[in-house]
Amino acid sequence: MYSASELNAAQIQAVEAGDSPQLILAGAGSGKTRTIVHRIGHLISKRGFAPHRILTVTFTNKAAAELKSRLTGLIGDDGGGVVSGTFHAISLRFLRRYAGHLDFPRSFQVIDADDQKALVKRLLKSRNIDSEKLHPGYLISWIEHCKHEGLGADEAPAQIWNNIDLRELYVAYQDELRRLERMDFSDLLLNVVRLMRDFPDVASLIRSQFDHVLVDEYQDTNPVQHQWLLLLCQEHRNLTVVGDDDQAIYGWRGADVRHILDFERVWPNAGIHRLEENYRSFENILKLANAVIQANPHRHEKALRTTRGDGKVPDWIVCNDEYDEARRIVGVLKQRRAHGVGWQDMAVLYRSNRQSLPFEAVLREQDIPYQVIGGVGFFSRMEIKDALAYWALLHRCADSLQLLRICNTPKRGIGAKGQEAISRMLADSDLSAAGWLDQVAEGRGEGPAKKLEPLAQLISEQRSTAMSCADLGLGDLLESCGYVEALQARGEIEAVSRMENIRTLQDFIETSMGEGLQVADFMDQAALLQSGEEQDVDEAVSLMSLHRAKGLEFDTVIIAGVEDGLLPHQRSLDEGETGLHEERRLLYVGITRARDYLLLTSARMRRAFGDMVYPIPSRFISRLGDDVLRREASVSQPQQEASYSTQVQSGRRVRHPSFGEGVILSMEGAGDAARVTVRFQQAGTKRLMLKYAALEEI
Ligand code: ATP
Ligand code: MG
């Protein structure tokens, strides 16, 4: 079925190992996933197991589909019969049959994230707990954390937060779900564990469905998944797991790398296989990977050899800022393309999704097809669309859809009927959305439009100061109209990242304006970037987070933002050693995605959360020698030091026509792009464009 050119001796041994637990512990690119596929093929074609009695578990639906397609390629239609899915999907399948034992109807539904949040909010409201005291998002994360650990409401540890008993709320939450005949995502796994643990008859029925169970990326299993596998396979013991402890990157979601390291103890007499040949990357890429990961303690030492030759030493370039970074990276992508590499064989990886924007903008500008994987493209995100709608109204270039989009966000008591009425009034008025809103500001709004009067007045007041702010008034408007507060009060776990995105948008506006772009041009550009995601994706550069890149490979890989604060991420730096080790593994995962060419980049300055930061290169790479990472002599020069006007110096007291008196804190840039940060007594700290700010020295 396979020739020696397809599998090496160690892989063949793992593929042909008999009926007992098997652990394949091996480094990146050593053919672990390939071995799983061939082992399944072997079980079916050589050992006669029925395809539907083989179960493979993966971490994403995409990985499950990929595994099946590789299998069909290997053994034909039989491959299609193998049961393949995520832990959640397989759990749902079991529960559809046996949920009755847990007093759920078999037709129970899985609650989606929105409904889950709404439910938790209702629960807190009924107890008069406001979100200041306990954020709904916090409660949801805590419950999820318990569930990842395998702890139901009755087993969770006592936890008091601001004098509120979280465990009691966990119980109430589960009661409410039960009443609604719903389960949440994490319940699926927990309930299967409960079924198998508490109902021996059901457990043997479930166990008897499969003869072999195989798990890819085992290093990222959490305790409840671990119990799930233990209960499922304890009779036949035919469990094959593959993984790499150096690629464990989900500790923050409760995954515990010890499961892979403890495998031999939990499953006595397990077959252990080590694959030491790397088929993916050139030697020099592996050298860098090894140099990075070596600094982590408690590893299973793995020696990786490659059959592919040395290749080029990976490059590292230090750029001026994130836009310089994006332009230089795109330059490299174009060179690779000229060397015959397809766009689909290139990836730009980053730590944080908010980094995608400059790449999207430059790729779009240069007409290079791209796709943002596993995330919504920047301009399609809810909060970005909302923010742009507000901003367009402020600058009189909004259309009616944008007005309708935000008329009840935050809530202003305008329901669906009210929105319909507003939409009709707008259409009948023959005015632009902003023009119509001006009339409302003057008290001429009727019916539901009356409810927009405070907003309309606010917008018309803020027009006078908007042009002097570096973000042309966006931040101020979103604050004062209550949007920011409402966003935070929604209690979503993503609230923080949504705020980060809005700040990134403010930065982007600032950069674009510095380059002389007008508001209307900016809106056009945003609309184009939005449509960019509908491009043909067969031949496109991939943009994705390092987490998303797990298990994938590309000819050309670029890792952007390799700086302290991003990689390692600030959160992990604050957390201490464990977090730092996980971040190092994340860089290792990124590096080992590359087959032929690898480039790391960092920037000298970067806009982050409305501020300019001056990061230092990541501690993971800063001390590496030129033999493993070749630092390119910088081609682009650092920007000219700004020649500040002598009157405008930090510490000076100034007066702004609308914000009043304040003190200059700092300045950046020069000429038309010069910006000044002022702390005003009343209006708080603002970053203003010097050109428009009309500051008067006092
Ligand atoms: P990761 O740790 O990143 O998930 P992996 O160990 O699962 O990697 P695979 O994706 O299975 O590795 O294989 C890496 C690459 O090497 C693939 O392109 C695969 O087709 C190729 N490969 C694996 N084994 C062999 C082999 N024996 N001969 C030729 N190519 C191989
Ligand atoms: Mg793999």
CATH of the domain at 508: 1.10.486.10
Q: What is the mean pLDDT of residues 541-556?
A: 94
CA of 299 to the centre of ligand 2 (A): 19
Contact 648, 656 (CB under 8 A): no
255 CA distance to ligand 2 centroid (A)?
A: 17
Are 496 and 351 within one domain?
A: no
Domain membership flag for residue 645:
no
Q: Which ligand is nearest to the CA of 63?
A: 2
Q: What CATH number does the domain containing 124 carry?
A: 1.10.10.160
Report the CATH number at residue 597: 3.40.50.300
In this prediction, residues 105-126 reach a mean pLDDT of 84
With a 6 Å cutoff on the Cβ, whether 8 touches ligand 1 is: yes
Domain contains 105:
no
Evaluate: CB of 606 within 6 angstroms of ligand 1: no
- CA dist., res. 58 & res. 79, Å (int): 16
Q: Which ligand is nearest to the CA of 279?
A: 1
Q: Does residue 41 line the site of ligand 1, with CB under 6 A?
A: no
Ligand 1, atom 2, residue with closest C-alpha: 28
Q: Based on the fold, state whether residues 397 and 343 are members of the same structural domain.
A: no
**What whole-number distance in Å separates Cα of residue 295 and Cα of residue 587?**
12
Q: How far is the CA of 216 from the centre of ligand 2 (A)?
A: 7
Residues 160 and 40 in one domain: no
pLDDT at 629 > cutoff 90: yes
Contact of 29 with 554, CB cutoff 8 Å: no
- Asked whether 589 lines ligand 1 (CB < 6 A), one says no
Taking CA atoms only, the protein residue closest to ligand 1 atom 28 is: 6
- pLDDT digits over 609-628, tens only? 667 789 999 999 999 999 99
Q: Are the C-beta atoms of residues 215 and 57 closer than 8 Å to each other?
A: yes
Q: Is there a domain that residue 330 lies in?
A: yes
Q: Which protein residue's CA is at the shortest distance from atom 16 of ligand 1?
A: 279
Residue of 58, 280, 595 with the most ligand 1 atoms within 8 Å of its CB, for mutation:
280
Q: Are residues 551 and 607 in the same domain?
A: yes
Asked if 677 and 687 touch (Cβ cutoff 8 Å), the reply is: yes
Q: How far apart are CA 397 and CA 375, in angstroms?
A: 28
Q: Is 7 in the pocket of ligand 1 (CB under 6 A)?
A: yes
Residue 635's pLDDT is: 47
Give 442's pLDDT tier (boundaries 50, 70, 90): very high
User: Nearest 5 degrees, angle CA 442-CA 448-CA 453?
Assistant: 30
Mean pLDDT within 71-83: 90
Residues 551 and 515 in one domain: no
- Using the predicted structure, report yes or no on whether residue 638 has a pLDDT greater than 50: no
Q: Which helix (H) or strand (E) holds 68?
A: helix 61-75
- Domain finish residue from 600, 631, 662: 631
Please tell me the distance from the alpha carbon of residue 266 to that of residue 698, in angstroms, as a whole number.
75
Q: How far apart are CA 391 and CA 505, in angstroms?
A: 11
The set of catalytic residues is 32-33, 216-217, 247, 593
Q: Is the pLDDT of residue 326 over 60?
A: yes
pLDDT surpasses 60 at 328: yes
Atom of ligand 1 nearest to the CA of 30: 6
Closest atom of ligand 1 relative to the 589 alpha carbon: 3
Same structural domain, 511 and 544: no
Ligand 1 atom 19: residue of nearest CA:
31
pLDDT of 687 reads: 81
Residue 245 in this model has a pLDDT that exceeds 90: no
pLDDT at 644: 37
Give the pLDDT confidence score for residue 375 in this predicted structure. 64
Task: Determine which residue's CA is closest to atom 21 belonging to ligand 1.
Answer: 279
Residue 159 lies in a domain: yes
Q: Whose CA is nearest to atom 29 of ligand 1?
A: 6
User: Using one digit for the tens of pLDDT, what is the confidence trace for 665-695?
Assistant: 887 776 666 778 888 887 788 888 777 777 8
pTM (2 d.p.): 0.75
124-150 CB burial, b ≥16 within 10 A, e <16: beeeebebeebbbbebbebbbbbbbbb
- Looking at the CA of 590, which ligand is closest? 1
34 CA distance to ligand 1 centroid (A)? Answer: 6
Q: What is the DSSP letter of 640?
A: P
Helix (H) or strand (E) holding 175: helix 166-179
Distance 329 CA to ligand 1 centre (A): 27
Name the DSSP class of 252.
G
Query: What residue's CA is closest to ligand 1, atom 31?
Result: 279
Please tell me the number of the ligand nearest to residue 37's CA: 1
Locate the ligand 1 atom nearest the alpha carbon of residue 8 and give its number: 27
C-alpha of residue 33 to centroid of ligand 2, in Å:
4
Quick check: CB of 29 below 6 Å from ligand 1?
yes
Residue 639: its pLDDT value, please?
43
Of 296, 369, 279, residue with least CA distance to 330: 369
Atom nearest to 593 CA in ligand 1? 3
Q: What is the 3-state secondary structure (H, E, C) of 272-340?
A: EECCCEECCCCHHHHHHHHHHHCCCCCCCCCCCEECCCCCCCCEEEEECCHHHHHHHHHHHHHHHHHCC
* Residue 2 near ligand 1, beta carbon < 6 Å: no
With a 6 Å cutoff on the Cβ, whether 274 touches ligand 1 is no
Ligand closest in space to the Cα of 31: 1
Average the pLDDT over 638-651 and give the result.
Answer: 50
**Cβ–Cβ under 8 Å, residues 275 and 32:** yes
The rounded Å distance from CA 509 to ligand 1 centre is 43
pLDDT at position 354: 82
Kindly give the distance from the C-alpha atom of residue 2 to the centroid of ligand 2, in angstroms, as a whole number: 19
Is residue 394 located within the same domain as residue 360? no
Counting the structural domains of the chain, the total is 5
What's the sign of the alpha-carbon dihedral 572, 576, 581, 584? positive
Question: What spacing in Å lies between the alpha carbon of 569 and ligand 1's midpoint?
Answer: 29
Percentage of the chain surpassing pLDDT 90? 53
Between 381 and 589, whose confidence is greater?
589
Distance CA(480)–CA(459), nearest Å, equals 10
- Identify which ligand lies nearest to the alpha carbon of 32: 1
**325 C-alpha vs ligand 1 centroid, how far in Å?**
31
Same domain, 315 and 421: no
Q: Are residues 401 and 516 in the same domain?
A: yes
pLDDT at residue 519 tops 90: no
* pLDDT for res 531: 57
CA 34 to centroid of ligand 2, rounded, Å: 7
Instruction: Determine the pLDDT at residue 16.
Output: 95
User: How many other CB atoms are there within 10 angstroms of residue 580's CB atom?
Assistant: 18
- Print burial letters for 2-33: b (CB count within 10 Å at least 16), e (below 16): eeeeebbebbbbbbebeeebbbbbbbbbbbbb
Q: Is 194 a member of any domain?
A: no
Examine the domain organization and report whether 558 and 448 are in the same domain: no
What proportion of the chain, given as a percentage, has pLDDT over 70? 93
Indicate whether residue 28 lines ligand 1 (CB < 6 A): yes
* Ligand 1 atom 27, closest CA: 7
Residue 60 lies in a domain: yes
Q: What average pLDDT does the chain have?
A: 88
Assess if residue 287 is contained within a domain: no
- Residue 456: the pLDDT is 96
DSSP assignment of 496-520 equals: HHHHHHHHHHHHHHHHHHHTT--HH
- Of 276, 302, 362, the C-alpha closest to 327 is 362
Taking CA atoms only, the protein residue closest to ligand 1 atom 24 is: 31
Residues 474 and 607 in one domain: no
User: Ligand 1, residues 34, 35, 246, 592: which to mutate, most atoms within 8 A of Cβ?
Assistant: 34
413 with 514, same domain: the answer is yes
Cα 511 from Cα 501, distance rounded (Å): 15
Query: Quick check: helix, strand or coil at residue 200?
Result: helix
Of 107-111, 277-281, 320-324, give the lowest mean pLDDT range: 107-111
31 lines ligand 1 (CB under 6 A): yes
Cβ–ligand 1 contact at 243 (below 6 Å): no
Report the atom number in ligand 1 closest to the C-alpha of 247. 2
Which residues constitute the domain of residue 412?
379-524
| 638 inside domain | no
- Which atom of ligand 1 has the smallest separation from the CA of 34? 11
